[in-house]
Every structure is written in structure tokens, then in C-alpha cells.
Structure 1
């Protein structure tokens, strides 16, 4: 069968299963053929070998059952960086790029020190390193598998980030940062979205938090005061309905200039607070 015919059938098969059936099918076929997407448009009449067609069908079946495209091809782009992914971490999402944009907008020294807590694939830290190579960047994750993956991505991209295993701040004793950034678990334990879509194939430990999804956010904000330089900032991703609750957490622990930023869809996506050492702690 020709490429265009194979793709047309794949689009129909994934319709209703994926929000982006055409993109999914194209990415899977490009991965199989080891070709860029432009190849599909340049050579639509090229026939697939029988072995290629069978392999493509196998990938489609797995996608039809809900497996994320990123897991099937082993990669997801974030901040224009190709990042290896696997089931041990969250798949980087475009909404998280809003955190990167905010951090880059902050007025900081050329050698600012920044840490990414719960780094997963390393997405946030590596995006920052690609834009600010002179920053002293650190990234930590509790899971050894995630640390190994983040280091693999760092080395493949040739970027400089210190990556180590740590349960939040545990391995960072004695260090101080100008920015603490994190995309922590923030979904409630009984959220119905956990049984839908790609998240079914992602680690619950990276998604779910106690106290209505706020437990890890509270921990990061409360203890961040011990790891920030005077005037340093904490920036946290959260659910689009959690903005007010997260701002209240920052205020409770004495942060100033507290606010919330939006993602590409205009929904509340991250909140931040600035720590002043002279502030009265709660």
C-alpha cells in the first residue's frame, strides 16, 4: 500500500481515540521509517514494504489501546529540544514551557543558581540551560530511573546541568538558589482524569499528591525559604483550578510579590512568590 493510503486508514482508526489522530499516525510512521514528516508529503505514493506495514499496524494497535505516542517512539520535543522519554517519568507537555518563559524573564545575574525539583526527563532544567548556559543549573529527582534519563538527555544535548537523586531538598543541604522551579505532583487522588488518556501510562507518584493535590506544593514552598538567596523566587506548576489555593500557600509562608501566570490556553498554570529574608515567617 502507498503511504497516503496507509495514513488515511490510520487516521480513521485513531479517530475518537486521540485528539490528534493525524499527527499521531504521522509521527508513528516517521519513527518507523526514520524519516522527517516532510517525507510523507514529498513521497505520498511510495509503497510500504510488507514488513513496514505490519510494524506500523502494531504501533497503531498500541496507540489505539491508549499508549502515548511519546512512549511508542521514545521521544518528545520540549522547548525545541528532543528529549528521550520512558514510563518512569511524566511526558513533557507544552503547558510547562510557560514556566520556562517566566524564569527566563526574571532579572538575574549571569551566573544565577537555579534548581529544578522533580526534574523527570530534565525538561525544565535543560530548556533553561539551552538559553542561559552560564547559569549554575541543578536538577534533582527522587527516582533513580528519572535521574538516569535526565542525565542521558543532558549528555545527548551537550548541556551543563548538575543532576542528582534527591527527595526534594534532601541532597541540597547547604546550597542556596536564586530560583527554585518545579512541576510537582498536583492531581487529587480521586481525580477522574487519572483513568483517561496518556496519564494512565504515567507514574502516579509523579501525578498525585495528598491534601487535594497540594501536599508537595506546600512542602516545596515551606522549605524553599531555607534554600533561597535573599530575593529568590519559587515558581511551581499546578492545576488550572489551583491558582488561588497556591497563592494562599505562598502568602501563608511569608512570600511577597505572589502571583499566577497562564499557559498557552490562558488558564492558570503556575504560581510564584519572592522570598525576602527580612520577611516575617509564619
Structure 2
């Protein structure tokens, strides 16, 4: 009986916490359908007949930001950067684990150290370097993300690969498989949970990132959605809250759907790195 009460109590506690986490999302959602003048005055109120704006905010969001093009550039950057990071860091982690020499260990710790370096320390040199190297484009930004964000993927992949049986890889090589074929045909399928986990985490970071694209991209030609949203900030601190909330909703939905589809792999992928070291 005590166990049942204990579980019920924890269910109630975590249900309340879940609602608290979800409340800001719902707040943005129903404010996106209110007139902008009423959002500041009645922020926490549901839309009424007097305050309901319908699809007007969404239409304004598309017209003022060229949302379609900004969405496209965000998608190009996210897909390209995440794909490049996942493939390169997985191969790097595999080499670190299987080489297992002093140089591989040094490289591994350098990747870990990179996770604690704040972006503000490298922001201005990185901006100058990307301009000089011609990387101020969406596809150039793929390389910037690859250079700045491999720490966490390498950490997760290294833990996952340590749990994989070496004998399977050796058997594949004995059967004539080369290094690349062994990695993509044998190692990658066994790393599926970790690969999906890293893909989700990195996609959420890149999709929502504002500062790195802002300091590296040529903003006259390319703008991601987080950057385009800033157009709603007018002079003297005025903000078109209705259109901004609409943009936020349209930005949240794709990554939320992606997360919900792949969420079952997150715990399995991260805990795969919690085995023998």
C-alpha cells in the first residue's frame, strides 16, 4: 500500500512539473492568436472575442520576415551541419576507442575540454576567420559547427563504442571488409540509439542557435529564423508581439515533431555511454 501511495505521489509531482514546463509553450501558442495590443495587457489570458486575431499574426509574420526563405536557410544549415557532425564525430570516436594509444587519449581529452570553452571567448576571432576564409555562407557554417560542436558527440559516441564487442568488427575484417565498410556496415548499425540521440541534441542546438549564425553569416543574403524574428523589434523598444509569437510557434513545431518521433532513442543512446570505460 505504501508503494502505491509513493508512486501516486511521485506521479502527481512529476505531472505538475510537466505542466510547468509545458506552460510557456502554451502561453506562446495562444498569444499568437491574440491582437498584439492585448498581449502586453492580458498576457496570461486566453483569446476572447475581443482579442482574437485569427491568422492575421501568422500572415504578418510571413510578410515581414520572408519566413519561407529564413526557414529554408535554417533547414539547410541544420541538416548539413548535423549530418556532418554526426558522421565525422562518430568516426573520430571509433578511432579514439580502437586506437587506444596516448595520442588518441590526448585527442579525447581535448574534445572534452572544448565543451567548457564559452562561445564568447572565441566569438570575435571566429567571426574574423570565417570572413577571411569565405565561410560566411550556410554551407560554410557547416564547417564552423563541426569545429565548434564536436565535444558532446565524441563524448557520447566514445562511451557507446566502448560497449560494442570488438570481435564482430574483427570477424568483418577477416571476411574481407575494409575499414570504411566495417564502420558503416557493422559499427554504425550497432550505434543507432546513440546516433539518433546525438542527432536530436545537435539538431535542437543548431536549429535554435542565434549567436553563431549572427556573427558568421552574411546577413544581407542569409538569415535563419532566430535572426529573422528580430525584425519585430521596432524603435524605442516596441515589439510586434503577435507576429513574433506566431514566428516562434512555426519555429517550435518542426523541431518538436522531430523530437517526438525520435525521443524513445534518447535515453538508450545516452545511457550507452554509461558502461565500462
Query: What TM-score does the superposition give when structure 2 sets the normalisation length?
Result: 0.21
Greater RCO (Cα-Cα under 8 Å, separation 6 or more) = 2
Higher strand share: 1
Larger Rg: 2
Query: What TM-score does the superposition give when structure 1 sets the normalisation length?
Result: 0.21
